[in-house]
Structure 1
Amino acid sequence: MNHNITYNLAWRKLTDPTRMPSNSAQEELGHNLLSSIKYAYKVDRRDSSIRPARGYAFMSTSQVGGLAPESKYSRFLRQEFDLRMALPLGVLNGALNAGVAAGVIHPLERGSAGSVSPLVERFNLGGNMPLVCHLGGPSSLLGFKTRGLRAATESRTHDPNTPGNGTSPSSKLNGLGGEVAVTAFADLSFDLPLKPLRELGIHGHAFVCAGNLGRLTECDLRKFPATEFLQTFRSCAGWGIVVPTRLFRVEMNYCYILKQLDHDGGKTDIQFNFSSS
C-alpha cells in the first residue's frame, strides 16, 4: 500500500492558436496560477507491471486546485479511480487482464459565462499508452489520437470509415462546466509458437477497449444525462505483438475502430504504444 500527498504550484500561460475560443475559455487565456494539493492511494498486488498474469491493482486520487489567492479560474475538484485485475488461463502462458477507470472534474468557482473548470486539467482520452501497464485514471483508449475524444454532446454517431474524422477546425474551445470520463478494457495475452520469441518474452495479445467523455453543465450531478452517456461509448478492438523489457513495454497493434462520433480522432490503423514499468 502507498499513500502520497503532493503540493503543486505552477505559473502557466494558456494560448489559443485557432483564435476561436468560447467566451468562458477566453477568461482562461493568458497567465494564471495553479496551486493544488493531491492525495493518492495505491495498492498493486500484480506479479508484474509489464506482463501481469495474476493479482489486482487499485488507485484513487483526489485533487483540489485553486488554493492560492486570486486563482479564480483554477479552482476545481478532481477525483479519479482505477481498478485492474489479472487472471492466469493455464494455456500458452495466457492471462486475462481487465480494468475500469473513472474520473470527474468539477469547478468550484463561477466565471462570467457560468461554471468553469480549468481547460488544462481536462481529461485527455486516447494516445499511445498501453492498456495494461498504466495505472492512474481514465486516459488510454487505443485507436484514438491524444485528445481524440470530444464530449458526446458535441458529436453525432457516424461511420468510422468515413473520411474526415479529425476535429473540425470550426469547432470552438469550450470551457463551461466540468467533465466525467470512463474507460474500460479487456486484454488477452498469450505466448507465440516460436521458441526464440518466447525466450525473449515477446508475446501476442488481443484486446477490446471502450471509453466516453461527458460534460457536466449543471451543478446538480443528478441532472447528468447518464442514458445518453452510456449509449455514446466509443470502442476499439484489435491484436498485436508485445516486446517487454525490464524497463518498458513496446506494443505494435492493429486497431479497428468499432464506434466513434463526429470529429473524434479515431482511425483503423497500425499503432505503436509505449509504457515504462
Structure 2
Amino acid sequence: MSTSVNDTNIPAVPSEAPLRVNALRILGTAATRTSFLNSITSNVFEANNTADVLKKVQQIADQLQKHDIFDEIKIYVDSNKDIADTVDVALHLKEKDRSVFQTTVNIGNNQAELNGGIGIRNIFGGAESATANFAFGNRTRASVEGNLETPFKGNANARIGVFVNGSIRDHSQINAFNETSKATGIRFRGITPYGRHEISYAFTHRDVLALSTASSAVRAQSGRNQKQSIQHSFVRDQRDNAILPTQGHFIGVYQELAGLGGYGDAVYAKHELNASCHHSLINSRNNLGGNASLSISATVRAGLFSSFGEPDRSRGPTVSDKFYLGGPLSVRGFKTGGIGERDGNDAVGGEGYWAAGVSVISSVLGLEQLPIKAHAFANAGSIVTHTRGVPLEDTVKALAETPRASVGFGLIFHHDIARIEANYCIPLRYTSTDLPEPKLQFGFGLNFL
C-alpha cells in the first residue's frame, strides 16, 4: 500500500503561522461510508496553524493506513486563493479488494502448522472485518476460528469483536492425552505507545481424552470440563528481529482469571511473564558480503497460579492449564516437560515456575554470508507442583532451593519463519524425577530461552 501527503501549494511560512482548513474532499471511495471517513478526518478543521495542519493531515494518513482497507492513499493540501490563511485538503483513495485469502506455514514450540484464512474486509463500510482461519499440524491436529471485528469508535488502534473457535490438540509430547476444545467470547485489542494489549472474555468447553498409556493423574481429569475466563496480555516488542534478535528488548505479560462467580470447573488466577534483552557487541561487514557479528541475549520467564476467594484445590488448574518446564525451547538439556514431578510417563506439571537463560551468539568464520550462527548458552529453572493456598514466601523458597541447570553450545539456522537449533547439552543439576537429555538436542520454533 502506498501512502503520500503532498503539500503542493503551501508557501514556506513559519510553523506557528496562522492556517486553517477551509474544505476537505474525499475521492475514490465506493464501499467505505462517508460517516466513517468523516469521523477520521473531522478533527483537521480544529487546526489553527501551519504545524498543526500538517500534523493532523499526517495523522489522517496514518489512521487510514492502519485500517488496512486502502491500497493507495494520497492527500493533497493546496492554498485557498479566495480566503486568506486557509487551505483545501483532498483525499484520493483506492480501496482494497474486499475478499482476503492467504496461507502460511508457522513453526513454533517444536511444532509446524499449515495456516490459512479467508475473510471479508470493510463489510459495512467502516473497516469491519469477518475472517475464518484454520490450522493443521503435528501437534495441533486441527484448529478453526471465526471472528467479526470492528474499530472501536472508528479508531484504528482499537478493535472489538466476537469470536468462536475449536481445536483438536495432541499433548502426548508431554502427557498422554488429546484434547478437544470449543470456545466463544468477546475480544478487545488495542495499541498504545507502550505496546499491544488484548483483553478477552470466553466460555470454553473442553474434552480430555486419556490415551491407553496415560497415568492415573491424567485419567482422573479425563472427560469434559468447562472454563469461564477473562484473559489479558500485554506485549512490548522493541527487538530488531523476532527470530534472532541482536538488539532491543521484549516484554510479555499474561494474566487469566478463571471461574469468576463460581462458573466453570476451574477456579484460579494465572500470571506469566516473558522478558528478554539483546545487545550487539560486534557487527562489521566483511569482504565476502557477510556480517561478522557477536551478540549476547538474556531471557527470563516466570509463572504463578494464585488463589482468589476460597481456595478449593479440586477446582484448580487442570492438566491443560498448568505450566510445564524443560525442552529445547525452554531449559535446554531436558526433555520437553521433563522438569518436575511425574506420574509414570506423564509430567504432573506445576503451578509456579521460573526459567532464565544467557546466550552468546556469533557468526561462523567463513560462513558469515549464510543464515547460520554459533552459540553457547547457560540455562536454569525450577518448578513447583502446588502454589494455591501456599504462602508466597514458601513458594519462592521452594523455587529457589531446587534449581536445575544446563550449559551447552551449538548451531542456529535462522529463517524468516522459524529458528532451528542443534545443540550439545550438558545437564549440570537435576533431581530424581527429572528427565535430563544430555548430548545432542534439536529444537525449532520462535521463542527460545
Pairs aligned (count): 243
Match of 2:232 among 20, 39, 42: 39
Mapping for residues 94-243 of structure 1, pairs under 5 Å:
94-108=294-308, 110-111=311-312, 116-129=316-329, 140-151=330-341, 167=342, 169=344, 179-194=351-366, 197-217=367-387, 219-222=389-392, 224-243=394-413
- If asked which structure has higher relative contact order (CA below 8 Å, sep 6+), I would say 1
Q: What corresponds to 1:21 in structure 2?
A: 216
Match of 1:79 among 271, 275, 281: 271
Match of 1:7 among 201, 219, 243: 201
How far does residue 90 in structure 1 lie from its aligned partner after superposition?
A: 1.9
- 2:207 and 2:295 map into 1 onto residues whose CA distance is 45
How far does residue 49 in structure 1 lie from its aligned partner after superposition?
A: 1.3
Q: What corresponds to 1:54 in structure 2?
A: 247
- The alpha-carbon distance between structure 1 residues 216 and 243, as it changes in their structure 2 partners (threshold 3 A), is same
Stretches of 4+ moved more than 6 A in 1?
A: none
Match of 2:281 among 89, 107, 110: 89
How far does residue 206 in structure 1 lie from its aligned partner after superposition?
A: 0.5
How far does residue 105 in structure 1 lie from its aligned partner after superposition?
A: 1.4
- The alpha-carbon distance between structure 1 residues 4 and 74, as it changes in their structure 2 partners (threshold 3 A), is same
Query: Which stretch has the larger CA shift, 242-251 or 28-37?
Result: 28-37
How far does residue 10 in structure 1 lie from its aligned partner after superposition?
A: 2.5
8 Å contact from structure 1 (residues 239, 254) kept in 2:
yes
Structure with greater strand share of residues: 2
Query: Which stretch has the larger CA shift, 262-271 or 219-228?
Result: 219-228
8 Å contact from structure 2 (residues 239, 245) kept in 1:
yes
Query: Which stretch has the larger CA shift, 218-227 or 84-93?
Result: 218-227
Where does the alignment leave 5 or more consecutive residues of structure 1 unmatched? 130-139, 152-166
Counterpart of 1:255 in structure 2: which amino acid? C
How far does residue 269 in structure 1 lie from its aligned partner after superposition?
A: 2.1
- The alpha-carbon distance between structure 1 residues 217 and 128, as it changes in their structure 2 partners (threshold 3 A), is closer
- 2:235 and 2:266 map into 1 onto residues whose CA distance is 26
Which secondary structure does the structure 1 equivalent of 2:422 belong to? strand
User: Which structure would you say has the larger Rg?
Assistant: 2
How far does residue 52 in structure 1 lie from its aligned partner after superposition?
A: 1.1
- 2:431 and 2:441 map into 1 onto residues whose CA distance is 20
How far does residue 68 in structure 1 lie from its aligned partner after superposition?
A: 8.1
Q: What corresponds to 1:154 in structure 2?
A: none
Deviations 1:66-85 (A, max 9, x none): 258651x3111101111110
Where does the alignment leave 5 or more consecutive residues of structure 2 unmatched? 1-194, 284-291
8 Å contact from structure 1 (residues 35, 68) kept in 2:
no
Q: What corresponds to 2:64 in structure 1?
A: none
- 2:261 and 2:224 map into 1 onto residues whose CA distance is 14
Identity, % of aligned positions: 25
8 Å contact from structure 2 (residues 407, 425) kept in 1:
yes
Q: What corresponds to 1:134 in structure 2?
A: none
- The alpha-carbon distance between structure 1 residues 7 and 198, as it changes in their structure 2 partners (threshold 3 A), is farther
Counterpart of 1:233 in structure 2: which amino acid? P
- 1:107 and 1:14 map into 2 onto residues whose CA distance is 24
Q: With structure 1 as the length reference, what TM-score do the two structures score?
A: 0.77
How far does residue 99 in structure 1 lie from its aligned partner after superposition?
A: 1.2
